[in-house]
Structure formats: structure tokens, C-alpha cells
Amino acid sequence: MIKKLVIFGVGLIGGSLALALREAGYCQTIVGCSRNAAHLQKAVDLGVIDGFTLNPQEAVQDADMILLAVPMGAMGKLLPQIKQAMPADAILTDAGSTKGSVVAEVERVFGKDFARFVPGHPIAGREMSGVEAAIPDLYANRRVILTPLPYTDPDAVVAVETMWKVTGAVLESMPVELHDQVLAATSHLPHVLAFSLVDTLLNLPMREAIFRYAAGGFRDFTRIASSDPVMWRDICLTNKTAILEMISKLQADLSEFAALIEQQDGEGLHTRMSRAKQARDSYITYLENGKTDK
């Protein structure tokens, strides 16, 4: 049970958490805080939060759990205000897609051994964003990755785990750096590729024909290019090292592929593509055996 949950940034992510916890009766009160009164009022009207304030220091008064669900760019101004007013035993957690950067930011403001911060990343989403898109079962059977530091209080970790479990999520912990590398590979790189593919096609002289003749595969493939550019800009900025590493590896792979085509190496191409097919087919089997996210 949480007495007072404060959510900074009541959008899809924060809003869905609130709805899930509300359904389970897990919080006595849920308060929202951001810089947009209209959005926050909307969140109240939709029954997502009980009330709101535009003042971060007021928001965290008497809070026991504080969720940061704001863009990385907002953290710099926000964290000092939270630090000033949050209760000593309150827990601070977040929901961002990259962990290294938020850990660095918290360390910068709170010091290098702030034991009440539990970095977290719920791996869930929808194409739509905003509190209107929030749904209570967004996290059901989805994976939430926590990346506690060596100095993080174990009880704080347990409290954050428990909160997410109430939503139906499956919890995992891993080191900050591994998280950022894995996400760079499995999420950030595909998004960069989808954005780049659409961009490349946009710039072709035969663009009209391309729009007309693009088949279903193109639609699915580029689905993630309809993602929120603000969020993805922030991800690219905050996971810079890991993403650049992934882009570099992919470019090397593409160059090898191109060389095989240039040399008309049918066998080499077949081997490469069979290997990829096999890997992906076993991955799907793995998924269907329930061992990972849908």
C-alpha cells in the first residue's frame, strides 16, 4: 500500500501506472504534477489522479513514492526542487527508457550515494501518447527492468518492485550499463533504422510511386517511425554511446551484405539470411513459450 504517490508527468506511462494502481486500490492518494494545468485537470477528469499541483515542492510533501515520468530535459530543473522537499524516507523512481543518464543526473543533484532512488524502466507502450491513451492493463505481463545501484536501499527496491507487480508486470534487475546496451540493440537501433528508412524513401525522386506501391511489409516495418519524436530525440541524446555503437555495428553488417551482393555471392547471402531466419524463428518460439514479453 502506498499512502501518497506523486507522478511527475501524467502521460501514457505515468497515467497507466496510476490507473492500474487505482484499480487495485493500492494507493490512498495519487497526485499529479507538471507544468500544464490543463493536462493535469484532464487527468483528474479522466479519473487517473485524485488531484494536482504545479508546484513540485508542494507535490512531494508527505509523499512516500515519487515517480518521475518527465522528459530527461526537464530533470535538471525538477530534481533540485524535489530534493528540497521530499521526505527523508520517501522513494524516488522513474520510468525512462535509458538509465545511465538519469542515474548521472540524480547523482549530480543528490550526491553519489543517494540510497532512495530506484531507477526503473517499464518496457511497454502504445503508438498513442498522452493521458487520454492511458489504460490500466498497459503493464500486464510486461517486463519492468530495475537498475538499482550498489548503494540503493534494498527496502526501496522491494517497494518499487511491489508497486509494479500490482500492475501485473514481471520484474527484472540488471546493471545500468547492460540495460542501456540491450535497449540500444533491441529498441533504439530498430527505431533509428525505421526513421532512417522512411527518411531515405522520402528523399527519392520516385517518392509518389513508392507511396503507392509500398506493400504491407513496409507498413509494419515503419510502424515505429510513427513514434513520438520528442521521446526519441531524448533517447538518442541520453543513450548516445550505446546507440552509436549499435549503429556502427549495423553499418558494418550492411556493408558486408552489400559486398556479398556486389560479388554475387549467392551462397554467402543464403547462409547469412538462413542464419537470421533461424535466429528469429527460435526467438518467436521462445516468446510463445511465455519466457519473455509479447
Using CB under 8 A as the binding rule, the residues of this chain from 147 to 186 that contact a copy of itself are 172, 174, 178, 181-183, 185-186
Select the residue interacting with a copy of itself from 99, 274, 289, 290 (CB under 8 A): 274
Using CB under 8 A as the binding rule, the residues of this chain from 77 to 116 that contact a copy of itself are: none
Nearer to a copy of itself, 51 or 229 (CB): 229
Q: What is the DSSP code string of 34-92?
A: -S-HHHHHHHHHTTS-SEEES-HHHHTTT-SEEEE-S-HHHHHHHHHHHHHHS-TT-EE
Cα Rg of the chain (Å, integer): 21
How many residues contact a copy of itself, by CB under 8 A?
A: 95
Q: Is the dihedral of CA 115, 177, 143, 231 positive or negative?
A: positive
The verdict on 294 binding a copy of itself (CB under 8 A) reads yes
CB of 52 to a copy of itself, least distance (A): 28
- The CA distance from 264 to 198, in Å, is 27
H/E run at residue 170? strand 170-173
Select the residue interacting with a copy of itself from 12, 68, 123, 131 (CB under 8 A): 123
Greatest alpha-carbon span in the chain = 68
The verdict on 128 binding a copy of itself (CB under 8 A) reads no
The verdict on 200 binding a copy of itself (CB under 8 A) reads yes
Q: Calculate the dihedral angle through the C-alpha atoms of 250, 255, 259, 261, rounding to the nearest 10 degrees.
A: 60
Select the residue interacting with a copy of itself from 119, 199, 289, 290 (CB under 8 A): 199
Using CB under 8 A as the binding rule, the residues of this chain from 203 to 262 that contact a copy of itself are: 203-204, 206, 209-230, 232-234, 236-237, 240, 243-244, 246-251, 253-255, 257-258, 260-262
Residues in the chain: 294
* Span near a copy of itself by CB under 8 A; candidates 13-21, 36-44, 161-169, 265-273: 265-273
Q: Which amino acid is residue 151, in one-letter code? A: Y
Nearer to a copy of itself, 37 or 178 (CB): 178
Select the residue interacting with a copy of itself from 112, 264, 289, 290 (CB under 8 A): 264
Q: Is the dihedral of CA 203, 205, 207, 210 positive or negative?
A: negative
Which of 67, 69, 28, 36 is CA-nearest to residue 52? 36
CB of 86 to a copy of itself, least distance (A): 29
CB of 82 to a copy of itself, least distance (A): 24
